[in-house]
Amino acid sequence: MQPKTWIMLIVGTLVTGAYLILSSLIRETETIWLLTRLFGIISFITLFIVVLLGEVRLLSKDKSKVTLFRYHKPLAIFATYLVFLHFISAVADDYKWGRGLQFTQYLGFSFGDQWLVLLSLGTLAFYLMLIIGMTSATKSIQLLGFKRWKIIHFLSYAVFVIAFIHSVNLGTDIKHSVLAPYLKPVILTMFALVTGLLLVRAVAWTSIFEDQWEVNLAAVLILFILVLSAMIAQRTIGMERTLKETSARAATASISINAQEERIALLQARIDALTGSGGAAAGKVE
């Protein structure tokens, strides 16, 4: 293991230890909730960059030109620590999410309802990241052999997909916050980009592409198709949601009108009754 890697691991461990202490002090404040969300967003973006760098390098005919790939491993380590900080924040949180949960429910084996399943998926992604990280050391690769290591490394795609499902369904800033209209399209675009590059890579394995420009063109076309499909799907879903909301409002308005009509009819009946009883009383007096 290179000295730089050791330094990153030591610094990451020290920061994690310090944050464990800090999280215990702010666990009942809004800060812990905000930090949970922040670590979640940054870790997903970092994971996306890690996967993207790997895909770009694999699709390049001349891999030596992909100089940015040198950040692949440091960013992967950084993403793993960020996910762990996200996990610590969620467990420590007594302000919002964590008040009704037990520690064991964060360990990835709780499937009592949909929310717990999505929560467990996030923990599962972290476990897979640890497996990928521990088997990516030079000695581990030598021990496993390159082919076995490569198979294990394919789990990074599973990590990204699971993290995407976890984020889109549980992420406050993707679903409910003021950032949602801006952040959700970005997250969806990231997923589409990784999916597109993976499809291009699958096609490239068939040796159809001979030049780099063909690979690039295929990547652009597939990405365009995926983004266009996602936009159409989102537009359709939005129209259906609007239609349902309009129908619900119309039904509510109809119920309200009927209720008002019933009240008016009841008041009219009372008025008629009072008028009739008043007339009868006047007749008796005469």
Q: CB neighbours of 264 closer than 8 A, spacing ≥ 6?
A: none
Residues 137 and 164 in one domain: yes
What residue numbers bound the domain in which 147 lies?
3-176
Residues 207 and 67 in one domain: no
Residues 217 and 144 in one domain: no
Residues 47 and 154 in one domain: yes
Report the pLDDT averaged over residues 171-181.
82
Distances from the Cα of 190 to the Cα of 94, 171, 181, 257, 274, angstroms:
32, 15, 15, 47, 72
Q: Averaging pLDDT over each range in 58-72, 177-191, 222-236, which range is the top one?
A: 177-191
Domain presence at residue 57 = yes
Model-level pTM?
Answer: 0.74
- The alpha-helical segments, DSSP class H, found in 135-211 are 138-144, 146-153, 155-170, 172-175, 180-204
Residues 167 and 263 in one domain: no
Residues 102 and 226 in one domain: no
Q: What is the pLDDT of residue 285?
A: 46
Task: Give the pLDDT band (50/70/90) at residue 196.
Answer: confident
Give per-residue pLDDT as tens, 28-55.
899 999 999 999 999 999 999 999 888 8
For residues 32 and 23, the answer to whether their CB atoms sit within 8 Å is yes
Structurally, how many domains does the chain consist of? 2
Q: What is the pLDDT of residue 216?
A: 60
Q: Return the closest-CA partner of residue 188 out of 224, 227, 159, 225.
A: 227
